[in-house]
Amino acid sequence: MNQWRFKLLYDGDCPLCRREARFLSRRNHHGWLAFEDIAAPGFDPAAYGTTRDQLMGVIHGVFPDGRLIQRLAVFREAYRAVGLGWVLAPTAWPGLRWLADRGYEWFARNRMTIGKWFGRHCVSEACAMRAPKLPRG
């Protein structure tokens, strides 16, 4: 396997997040996408120059050079790493990008409730945490 090209920092306490990580993992045939569970014991957000609250607010990803990105751009990179970049490419188009970004922000704030609607319950105390509203960037 080749060295990873992008790392997905996902919330392993979030049932929908775990499901997405499993989906991407099954398609990660070249090993270009790495995964790190930010809810795992011993995870240190300082290694990425951030805090647990920031990481829990919206999804983050990191490139091998240490650059950290967040929100929908993370999904575009993760899907690109597993050969499915075309699926999310329209979310970067002018006009659609704004709409997709607002949709993701709503999802990030409500992911636990959305998971419950689909029978994906979280049993961890972390699920009681409400994702903070973060500045766009």
The confidence score (pLDDT) of residue 105 equals 84
pLDDT at 49: 92
Kindly state the average pLDDT of the residues 41-69.
92
**Residue 42 CA, distance from chain mean position:** 19
pLDDT at position 117:
57
The answer, yes or no, to whether residue 121 has pLDDT greater than 70, is no
pLDDT of 74-109, one tens digit each?
999 999 999 998 988 888 899 898 899 888 888 777
Task: Please give the distance of CA 73 from its chain centroid, rounded to a whole number.
Answer: 9
Across 41-52, b (16+ Cβ under 10 Å) vs e yields eeeebeebebee
Q: For tokens 């319950």, what's the residue?
A: 121
How, if at all, do strands 33-37 and 6-10 pair?
A: parallel
Domain boundaries, the chain: 6-128
Q: CB of 98 within 8 A of CB of 86?
A: no
pLDDT in tens, 7-18: 999 988 888 888
CA 57/CA 61 separation, integer angstroms: 13
- Global pTM? 0.77
